A and B are shown apart, each in its own frame.
Chain A
Amino acid sequence: AQKVTQAQTEISVVEKEDVTLDCVYETRDTTYYLFWYKQPPSGELVFLIRRNSFDEQNEISGRYSWNFQKSTSSFNFTITASQVVDSAVYFCALSDYLNYGGSQGNLIFGKGTKLSVKP
């Protein structure tokens, strides 16, 4: 069965600190996708990144970076020099490539990590 674990329920940092959000996943599939979404207080989930299981290269986008390690089934997310606007709940999600019906797999979400960045 597929599962996503975000062990950190809440994290609080002071502005300009670096912070890493952990994500550990379980799947029996050899082909799968991993995602991070941000949910600000307004409620809308904002897509941040998609990574497929064949691509273990780390990715950097501005202050955001992602560390994908298949050996430990982890897909961690780091925010460098955090800002107050980064305060949100962050979700890690997993999907297989195709289900047996031929359509794309559905997203399995972790419980989320609430990040509070204080000025």
Chain B
Amino acid sequence: ETGVTQTPRHLVMGMTNKKSLKCEQHLGHNAMYWYKQSAKKPLELMFVYNFKEQTENNSVPSRFSPECPNSSHLFLHLHTLQPEDSALYLCASSLQTLANYNEQFFGPGTRLTVL
């Protein structure tokens, strides 16, 4: 596999379920990101991991819990979600250096529906 992959591509869950989204990057990058894209709002940055350390948590509710076990994998654990959490969840990665800004590469997203 190449680039950034995300699984599952589609997920339907009830409000009491617990599920996890998975992201994997095969680009040798050192930073990974979770974004939320809903119909009514622009792309919202949720979490940033740089060298496996969380460097950004954009006031995301605790029902979303990220995990980054290594620089190639990123998870988003979901529990007791609300219907308004239904959205496309996008993962991205980039190579962060101090010398230059490098673009983020995105995965195909997970379309989440909360019933």
Report A's interface with B, CB cutoff 8 A. 33, 35, 37, 42-47, 50, 52, 91, 95, 97-98, 101-107, 109-112
Contact = CB atoms under 8 A, between A and B. Distances in A.
Interface stretch (B41-49, B63-71, B77-85): B41-49
Size bracket, chain B contacts: 20 to 34
B101 A103 contact: no
Contacts of B101: 33, 50, 52, 95, 97, 104-105
Contacts of B43: 91, 107, 109
B50 A112 contact: no
Nearest to B90: A45
Contacts of A47: 103-106
Contact of A107 (B45, B50, B111): B45
A111 B107 contact: no
Nearest to B95: A104
Given A43-B88, A109-B43, 9 more contacts: A43-B109, A44-B108, A46-B106, A50-B101, A91-B43, A95-B101, A97-B101, A107-B43, A110-B42
